[in-house]
Amino acid sequence: MGDPPRKVAIAGAGVAGLAAALAFRKAGYAVTVLERTAELGAVGAGILLQANGLLVLETFGVAEEVRAAGAAMSRFLMRDRRGRALLATELQAHLPPNLWPVCIHRADLHDILWRACAARGVTLRLGCKVSAVETDGPSPVLVYDTPSGAARLAGDLVVGADGVNSAVRDLAGFACRFWPVVEGSVQGVARFAVPADCHGEYIGGAEACGMLPLGGAKTFWFWGGSGQTVGKIETLSFATWKESVCRDFPPMRLVLDERHDWPGTVRLQHQSVQCDAWSAGKVVLIGDAAHAMSPNLGQGANCALVDALALVSRVAARDAGANLADALARFEHDRRAMVERLQRQGQRRAVASAQSWPGLEPIVNFALRLVRFAPLAMRRAEVRLMNGLEGDDLDLRAAGIRAAIPW
């Protein structure tokens, strides 16, 4: 493992894979991405980009485009099931405007990242599903299925960015554990804007839902409940589910009334993943493949973006010397503590919000109303954690990028 890699093979063209492709290409590497689906970014609904992810997008030179395609939020409101405010987090008091969270359609984020990759000469092969990883030769090889048969792609470095059910992780023999499923969600996009005084997250019992502004005068809506409840949703008609949500959370009628069936919504049971190591030889995992986490902090995609830049900066930066194994170990060292903190926090919230018994809801609502009296430093610490930042600064180092940016 003497020479630094020049040819990078990436499995997966999600947020992690496209961000890594762009960063490696900007740093001068030849990059090929294999994606199993026939087209990019067709799935999904809204996604929240927070300070750590936005800092990475600034470095890529696409943050302005992302802000223009999404909607920035200067405050975040938690509400009770009828829409009455419980807790307002004034993000503007803690973050500069360029780091206010941006809610964007996942497809728009993919599109922006892919256009930046294409402009730089990244090779993308669609409809190519990785089915084997060979690690016995001098360079690892991704074997993949295409409509016209199996093909092979060697890289000086192979990046597994193929999501929570990563084939690279399993095929290359990484030891990992799935945490128990405790939550799930239904999400969608309404093709119209709702009044700003409806934005926020509505909580009630073991369920939560919400509406957030998306770019293009659209609205991202979501509903979340226990994993068991979501499992049962499969057996319900959309009309039955919609009526029960609108009965429990009346304001949701605003966005759900336009829908009459499931197609176009996203239904998921959420899984968290913990791997013993994120690299083995010349294969490295990033994003959900390495550490899928509960979506309730809105950090999964942001961590995927930070992983991509942290990896490339370690592999390419001069201080890593020529030793790839060291660079990969440093990348993991840079990232693991923050990622695991977010995973634990997300899991704690998921478990806590799955609790419900008569009389608990007014106590929770009362406690949330009291948070406004918490010391400012405590609230700031919470905002920083939600935004994936460590220490007091608002820069790439605080987001977990420890080595120099190699371009």
Judged by the rule CB under 6 A, the positions of this chain that interact with ligand FAD are: 11-17, 34-37, 47-48, 129-130, 161-163, 167, 185, 187, 268, 270, 287-289, 295, 298-302, 304
Q: How many Å from the N-terminal Cα to the C-terminal Cα in the chain?
A: 24
CB-based burial label for 83 (10 Å; 0-12, 13-18, 19+): middle
Please tell me the number of Cα atoms within 13 Å of 332 on its side-chain side: 17
Contact call for residues 222 and 187 (beta carbons, < 8 A)? yes
Question: Angle 316-317-320 (CA atoms, 0-180°, nearest 5)?
Answer: 100
C-alpha–C-alpha distance, residues 328 and 314, integer Å: 7
Identify which of residues 293 and 316 has a Cβ nearer to ligand FAD in the complex.
293
Identify which of residues 13 and 365 has a Cβ nearer to ligand FAD in the complex.
13
Identify which of residues 301 and 364 has a Cβ nearer to ligand FAD in the complex.
301
C-alpha–C-alpha distance, residues 176 and 87, integer Å: 37
Identify which of residues 104 and 364 has a Cβ nearer to ligand FAD in the complex.
104
Q: Considering Cα of 379, then 303, then 271, then 279, what sign does the dihedral take?
A: negative
Contact call for residues 146 and 130 (beta carbons, < 8 A)? no
Identify which of residues 70 and 300 has a Cβ nearer to ligand FAD in the complex.
300
Contact call for residues 291 and 274 (beta carbons, < 8 A)? yes
* Smallest separation (angstroms) from ligand FAD to the CB of 60: 15
Identify which of residues 298 and 406 has a Cβ nearer to ligand FAD in the complex.
298
Identify which of residues 227 and 251 has a Cβ nearer to ligand FAD in the complex.
227
* Smallest separation (angstroms) from ligand FAD to the CB of 37: 5
* Smallest separation (angstroms) from ligand FAD to the CB of 137: 20
* Smallest separation (angstroms) from ligand FAD to the CB of 129: 4
Mapped onto helix, strand or coil, the DSSP state of residue 307 is helix
* Smallest separation (angstroms) from ligand FAD to the CB of 287: 2
E strands along 172-265, which residues?
176-178, 183-190, 200-204, 207-214, 218-226
* Smallest separation (angstroms) from ligand FAD to the CB of 307: 8
* Smallest separation (angstroms) from ligand FAD to the CB of 362: 28
